[in-house]
Amino acid sequence: MKLIHVFVVFSALLASLAVLQTPTFVLVFLAVTFMYVGFSESWNLVGGYIGYLSLGHGALFGVSAYTVAILWNFYKISPLITPFIGAFFAMLVAICIGYPTLRLRGYYFALATLSLPLIASGLVNSFPDVTLAGRGIPNVSPPEIAFLLRPNAYYAMFLGYMILCVLIAYKVENSKFGHGLMAIREDEDAAAVCGINATKMKVEAFMLSGFLTGIAGGLFASYLTYVSPSSVFGILLSVTPVLMTILGGRGRWIGPVIGAITLDLLRNYISYSVLSVLNSLVLGVVLIVIVLLAPKGIYGVITQGVMRYVGRKGHS
């Protein structure tokens, strides 16, 4: 039995929590964690498999969230349908940024993506007619869902989103496409010699990543019931998937799953017990420590440990 089977079976079991009488705080905590698993999984498609660090995925997330909120606010289109439209717009942004920058080294790409959330929030603030500027768009909520059933409904939706993302990542990892991406990460020139159209594949991966991120953003808009520049274009939202993926292990589908769950538990603990101004301090320190001490993440540490154990057994 493979790890992915364990994951699918386990998630299927988790689905039952939505219909059982689960305490609301458990559902809410898990729903957000699931969203981050999927979000990190989509970041991993670019940052992990190709090794191009996107430091502004929050902007793609936010573009979609704003699309959903605006479509609801002005045209009353239910936020249950529009995440896909939002995801489409996120994908368009991904193409516009990815096409020029992904032809070059990761350095340029990181820079362009890093500037995206800042620019996006600047633009949002300067078109108050459409976006209501810094106050944000309130009351984004699907009318189809009864108020009391909201936690259960969003739990189910984010669970589905997470399973979708993990399965796509798993598929990519074991496909020709995914092997191409990893070849680009290892040695771009050699990959090109082997007949891989590196630019095209990188842009495709970034598009896919943008689309999946957009779904999360679109769902998050109506989950939170409001969208404001600080809630979607803050730097912490962009850092979070980076951190979660690196913490768990880059370039593996399992990495973001481990990382997101670990960091979400840690973060919840911190935000209750430590000063909130130190939130980014903790994230920064975790990032530095992980890169220095365990660049392959928790999964890397575990597999190394297992290998050492198995190896020792083999010798005796």
Partner 1 sequence: MIAEEIVQSIVNGILLGGIYGLFGLGVSLIWGVMRASNFAHAAVGFLAAYFSFSALTKLSIDPLLSLIFLLPAFFILGMAIYRLMIYPAYLRTAQMDFELSTMLLTFGLSLVLESVMSYFWGTMQVSYSIQYFTTRAFQVGPIYVATNGLVALGVAAGAVAAIALLLDRTYLGLAIKATSQNREVASMMGVRVYGIWMFSFGMTFALGALAGVAMSLLYAYYPQGNLIWTIKAFIVVVLGGIGSIAGTLAGGILLGISENVGSTVLPFAFRDVVALAIFLTVILVRPQGLFGKK
Q: What is the largest CA-CA distance in the chain?
A: 74
- Measured between alpha carbons, how far is 43 from 39 in angstroms, rounded to an integer? 6
Torsion angle (degrees, nearest 10) of CA 116, 117, 120, 125: -150
Query: Could you tell me which residues come within 8 angstroms of residue 34 by beta carbon, excluding any fewer than 6 positions away?
Result: 155, 158, 159, 161, 162
Tokens at residue 182, please? 């990893």
Could you tell me where the DSSP H helices lie in 80-234? 83-101, 106-126, 128-131, 150-173, 176-186, 188-193, 198-224, 229-232
- Measured between alpha carbons, how far is 51 from 252 in angstroms, rounded to an integer? 12
Give the x-and-dash track for 145-184 against partner 1 (CB under 8 A): ----------------------------------------
Residue 195 Cβ vs partner 1, minimum distance, rounded to whole Å: 21
If residue 19 lies in a helix (H) or strand (E), which one and from where to where? Answer: none
Q: Which is nearer to partner 1, 25 or 129 (CB)?
A: 129
Q: Residue 196 phi/psi, 5° resolution? A: -90, 125
Nearest to 225 by CA among 111, 21, 79: 79
Residue 186 Cβ vs partner 1, minimum distance, rounded to whole Å: 8
Site of tokens 């106050």: 135
Q: Which is nearer to partner 1, 52 or 154 (CB)?
A: 52
Q: Which is nearer to partner 1, 149 or 278 (CB)?
A: 278
Q: Would you count residue 125 as binding partner 1 (CB under 8 A)? A: yes
Site of tokens 């699309």: 67
Q: Which is nearer to partner 1, 9 or 274 (CB)?
A: 274
Residue 131 Cβ vs partner 1, minimum distance, rounded to whole Å: 11
- Measured between alpha carbons, how far is 191 from 178 in angstroms, rounded to an integer? 13
Residue 244 Cβ vs partner 1, minimum distance, rounded to whole Å: 13
Q: Which is nearer to partner 1, 194 or 281 (CB)?
A: 281
Q: Would you count residue 115 as binding partner 1 (CB under 8 A)? A: yes
Among 87, 246, 254, 263, binds partner 1 (CB under 8 A): 246
What would you report as the CA-atom Rg of the chain, rounded to the nearest whole angstrom?
20
Q: Would you count residue 112 as binding partner 1 (CB under 8 A)? A: yes
- Measured between alpha carbons, how far is 172 from 122 in angstroms, rounded to an integer? 35
Among 6, 12, 15, 118, binds partner 1 (CB under 8 A): 118
Q: Would you count residue 271 as binding partner 1 (CB under 8 A)? A: no
Q: Would you count residue 300 as binding partner 1 (CB under 8 A)? A: no
Torsion angle (degrees, nearest 10) of CA 66, 68, 69, 74: 120
Q: Which is nearer to partner 1, 145 or 235 (CB)?
A: 235
Residue 124 Cβ vs partner 1, minimum distance, rounded to whole Å: 9
Residue 16 Cβ vs partner 1, minimum distance, rounded to whole Å: 39
Residue 253 Cβ vs partner 1, minimum distance, rounded to whole Å: 20
Half-sphere exposure of 280 (CA within 13 A, CB side): 7
By CB under 8 A, which span of 21-29, 167-175, 282-290, 304-312 interacts with partner 1?
282-290
Q: Which of residues 208-237 bind partner 1 (CB under 8 A)?
A: 235
Number of residues that bind partner 1 (CB under 8 A): 43
Contact residues for partner 1 (CB under 8 A)? 51, 53, 55, 97, 100-101, 103-108, 110-112, 114-115, 118-119, 122-123, 125-126, 187, 235, 239, 242, 246, 275, 277-281, 283-288, 291-292, 295
